[in-house]
Amino acid sequence: MSTLTYLDAGRLALQQEMRRDPLVWALGEDLGRGGVFGQYKGLAEEFGPERILDTPISEAAIMGTAVGAALVGTRPVVEMRFSDFALCAVDELVNQAAKARYMFGGQGKVPLVVRQPSGMWRSSAAQHSQSLEAWYAHIPGLVVVAPATPADNFGLLKAAIRCDDPVVYMEHKDLWGVTGEVDESAAPLTLGKARTVREGSDLTIVTWSGMLRQVEAAAALLGGKPSVEILDLRTLYPWDREAVLASAQRTGRLLIVHEAVQVGGFGAEIAATIGEALFGALKAPVRRLGAPRIPVPYAPPLEEVCKISPDEIAATARAMVR
Dist CA 106 CA 164 (whole Å): 11
Dist CA 118 CA 131 (whole Å): 6
Give me the sign of the Cα torsion angle 57, 61, 67, 69: negative
| pLDDT per position as a tens digit, 118-164 | 999 888 999 999 999 999 999 999 999 999 999 999 999 999 999 99
In this structure, are residues 80 and 171 in contact, taking their beta carbons and an 8 Å threshold?
no
Q: Mind telling me the catalytic residues?
A: 128
Query: Which of 274, 276, 227 minimizes the C-alpha distance to 251?
Result: 227
Q: In sequence order, what are the residues at sequence separation of 6 or more whose Cβ sits closer than 8 angstroms to the Cβ of residue 25?
A: 18, 47, 50, 51, 52, 53, 69, 74, 75, 76, 77
In this structure, are residues 110 and 70 in contact, taking their beta carbons and an 8 Å threshold?
yes
- As a three-state string, the secondary structure of the chain is CEEEEHHHHHHHHHHHHHHHCCCEEEEECCHHHCCCCCCCCCHHHHHCCCCEEECCCCHHHHHHHHHHHHHCCCEEEEECCCHHHHHHHHHHHHHHHCCHHHHCCCCCCCCCEEECCECCCCCCCCCCCCCCHHHHHCCCCCEEECCCCHHHHHHHHHHHHHCCCCEEECCEHHHCCCEEEECCCCCCCCCCCCEEEECCCCEEEEECCCHHHHHHHHHHHHCCCCCEEEEECCEEECCCHHHHHHHHHHHCCEEEEEEEECCCCHHHHHHHHHHHHCCCCCCCCCEEEEECCCCCCCCHHHHHHHCCCHHHHHHHHHHHHC
pLDDT tens-place values along the chain, 322 residues long: 999 999 999 999 999 999 999 999 999 999 999 999 999 999 999 999 999 999 999 999 999 999 999 999 999 999 999 999 999 999 999 999 999 999 999 999 999 999 999 999 888 999 999 999 999 999 999 999 999 999 999 999 999 999 999 999 999 999 999 999 999 999 999 999 999 999 999 999 999 999 999 999 999 999 999 999 999 999 999 999 999 999 999 999 999 999 999 999 999 999 999 999 999 999 999 999 999 999 999 999 999 999 999 999 999 999 999 8
The residues pairing with 144 across neighbouring beta strands, listed in sequence order, are 168, 237
Dist CA 158 CA 18 (whole Å): 10
Dist CA 216 CA 211 (whole Å): 9
Dist CA 157 CA 115 (whole Å): 9
Domains, the chain, ranges and CATH?
A: 2-182 (3.40.50.970), 195-321 (3.40.50.920)
What pTM, to 2 d.p., does this model score? 0.96
| Burial status of residue 99 (CB atoms within 10 A of its CB: 0-12, 13-18, 19 or more) | middle
Give me the sign of the Cα torsion angle 84, 172, 310, 278: positive
